[in-house]
Amino acid sequence: MKKNMGNTDRIIRLVIAGVLAFLWFQNIITDTWGIVALVVAAVFALTSLVSFCPLYTLFGINTCSTKTK
């Protein structure tokens, strides 16, 4: 798997995942929307930890900066 996510993208995803998880644990988002938010948070956290997003591959997006020599 080739990395296709930059550091900024990873940080934004982790922040969103943290906010969604916080809202769920505080019972602000409940029922079906709470489960959806928790799943989205888990996907965002997982993709940011491995620096790879499968949807980016489908759409040809690459936010990972490349170093040129």
Please report, as a single letter, which amino acid is at residue 2: K
pLDDT at residue 30 in the model: 92
Q: Is the dihedral of CA 30, 31, 33, 38 positive or negative?
A: positive
pLDDT at 67: 62
User: What pLDDT digit, counting tens, does each position of 8-66 carry?
Assistant: 999 999 999 999 999 999 999 999 999 999 999 999 999 999 999 999 999 998 998 87
Cα R_g (the chain), whole angstroms: 14
